[in-house]
């Protein structure tokens, strides 16, 4: 059962969301495994802090490059499924090989390869969802896959399961077991997910006088793509800075115990799943631009609350939780808006541009710069930078052009 009938089947749509959601969730699980195992790996392989940082930066760099170049390759070939299957196989095997590493260089090699495979994984997943989902569920489905499964498996399950396995059977076993779900999903996706058609039924034609959107610079000439790339720098940087420096701030500046800090961070770990569903659901109904503005600005509340509230853990956690819900904008600027802006032409490459630019500037450069600033002053400064980047996200979203086809159609009828 192939072609348009299958693509418009609600049952098949749910199958795509479930299998791709699990696949991306375990891809993110594999990426985060090193973070949670770092105390064990550092002690065993005698790594210094510079080497630990290089492991994260190396993966982020190849993640960024793979997101664009392999995403573009997928667009050029007109195929999605072979690239998806290859990515699953490579990052799953890379996780297993990480467990066999004997020194820094062998571990770095496996993480670099993993980044190159995982980078294009999300853009290709979102491109398949854009082709298979009904327009009124496109945003929601993207949010469930990226923020729902990704945050639950990568941020909630991974720290508990990975460390538990490491304590009982060693850190190498944690890496081995992290790769197993991906290998299982490789066969399930191969059997139950079809190659999507070249373009969905609701593909929009090129506007009068519009040139093709092939090429890196050509795609960035689209205002929405350029804005999404800029927002990606700010949003990715904000989240990365929060993930790195909030735990340090809560323990070293606020004086909370590691247990209290971990409880606060675990509660915040639920926000991407909640925000990913809430924000995208709203965007399917009222448009992409309003929630991008509101929830982008809302992200500012998290670091501001951490800096200002010092007498109530409950109030602090509640305000940070509300602010962190803003992470739900990620599926919109990373996948949905670029796909709709280009009318589903070169979607994986466009999404790859947004992911790559965000990873390079927000995931690689921002933490190093903020860490250096913190060494020169205090841990307040990285959180102030995080707040500034979040604020910039919301303000930049004012310049976005609405891309939701249903909303644009309603506006057209209203104008008529």
Taking only the tens place, the pLDDT of each residue in 345-371 is 667 777 778 888 888 888 777 777 777
* Cα within 13 Å of Cα(391), Cβ side: 9
pLDDT in tens, 235-253: 998 988 887 778 778 888 8
Which CATH number applies to 1-197? 1.20.1250.20
- Angle, in degrees to the nearest 10, between helices 171-192 and 81-98: 170
Greater pLDDT, 182 or 398: 398
Structure tokens at 214: 């092939």
For the whole prediction, is pTM greater than 0.75? no
Gap between the Cα atoms of 31 and 116, Å rounded: 12
- May I ask the CATH class of domain 216-416? mainly alpha
> What would you report as the CA-atom Rg of the chain, rounded to the nearest whole angstrom?
21
CA nearest neighbour of 69 among 351, 303, 281: 351
Gap between the Cα atoms of 244 and 249, Å rounded: 9
Residues in Cβ contact with 366 at an 8 Å cutoff, skipping those fewer than 6 apart = 236, 237, 240, 241, 385, 389
DSSP character for 334? Answer: I
Gap between the Cα atoms of 171 and 168, Å rounded: 9
Residue 163: what pLDDT?
A: 79
What is the helix (H) or strand (E) element at residue 36, kind and residue range?
A: helix 10-45
Greater pLDDT, 72 or 327: 327
187, burial (CB in 10 Å: exposed 0-12, middle 13-18, buried 19+)? exposed
Gap between the Cα atoms of 36 and 94, Å rounded: 17
Kindly report, as residue ranges, where domains of CATH 1.20.1250.20 are found in the chain.
Answer: 1-197, 216-416
Gap between the Cα atoms of 147 and 141, Å rounded: 10
Torsion of CA 363, 364, 365, 370, to 10 degrees: 70
- Indicate the range of 92-101, 187-196, 288-297, 367-376 predicted with least confidence: 367-376
H and E: helices and strands count for the chain? 23, 0
The answer to whether residue 143 scores a pLDDT higher than 70 is yes
Whole-number Cα distances in Å, 175 to 59, 184, 212: 16, 16, 44
For residues 267 and 291, the answer to whether their CB atoms sit within 8 Å is no
Residue 283: what pLDDT?
A: 92
Residue 314: what pLDDT?
A: 93
Gap between the Cα atoms of 3 and 195, Å rounded: 9
For residues 144 and 17, the answer to whether their CB atoms sit within 8 Å is yes
The answer to whether residue 6 scores a pLDDT higher than 60 is no
The answer to whether residue 216 scores a pLDDT higher than 70 is no
CA nearest neighbour of 186 among 368, 22, 57: 22
């Amino acid at each position: 059962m192939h072609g348009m009938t299958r693509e418009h089947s609600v049952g098949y749509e749910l199958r795509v969301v479930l299998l791709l959601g699990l696949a991306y969730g375990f891809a993110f699980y594999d990426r985060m495994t090193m973070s949670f195992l770092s105390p064990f790996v550092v002690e065993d392989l005698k790594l210094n802090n510079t080497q630990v940082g290089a492991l994260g930066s190396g993966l982020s760099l190849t993640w960024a490059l793979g997101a664009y170049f392999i995403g573009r390759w997928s667009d050029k070939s007109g195929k999605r499924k072979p690239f998806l299957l290859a990515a699953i196989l490579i990052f799953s095997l890379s996780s297993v090989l990480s467990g066999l590493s004997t020194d820094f260089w062998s571990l770095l090699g496996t993480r670099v390869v993993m980044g190159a495979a995982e980078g294009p994984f999300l853009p290709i997943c979102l491109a398949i969802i854009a082709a298979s989902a009904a327009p009124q569920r496109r945003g929601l489905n993207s949010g469930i896959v990226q923020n729902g499964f990704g945050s639950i498996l990568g941020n909630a399950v991974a720290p508990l399961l990975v460390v538990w396995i490491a304590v009982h059977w060693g850190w190498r076993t944690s890496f081995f077991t992290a790769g197993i779900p991906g290998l299982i999903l490789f066969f399930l996706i191969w059997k139950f997910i079809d190659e999507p058609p070249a373009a969905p039924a609701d593909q929009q034609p090129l506007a009068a006088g519009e040139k093709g959107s092939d090429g890196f610079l050509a795609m960035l000439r689209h205002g929405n793509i350029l804005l999404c790339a800029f927002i990606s720098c700010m949003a990715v940087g904000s989240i990365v800075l929060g993930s790195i420096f909030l735990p340090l701030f809560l323990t070293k500046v606020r004086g909370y115990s590691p247990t209290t800090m971990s409880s606060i961070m675990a509660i915040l770990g639920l926000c991407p799943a909640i925000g990913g569903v809430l924000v995208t659901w709203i965007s399917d109904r009222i448009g992409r631009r309003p929630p991008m503005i509101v929830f982008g600005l809302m992200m500012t509340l998290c670091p501001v609350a951490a800096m200002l509230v010092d007498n109530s853990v409950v109030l602090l956690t509640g305000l940070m939780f509300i602010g962190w819900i803003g992470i739900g904008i990620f599926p919109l600027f990373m996948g949905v808006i670029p796909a709709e802006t280009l009318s589903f032409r070169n979607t994986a490459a466009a999404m790859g541009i947004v992911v790559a630019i965000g990873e390079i500037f927000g995931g690689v450069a921002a933490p190093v710069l903020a860490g250096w600033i913190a060494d020169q002053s205090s841990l307040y400064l990285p959180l102030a930078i995080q707040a500034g980047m979040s604020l910039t996200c919301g303000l930049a979203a004012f310049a976005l052009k609405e891309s939701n086809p249903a909303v644009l159609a309603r506006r057209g009828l209203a104008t008529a």
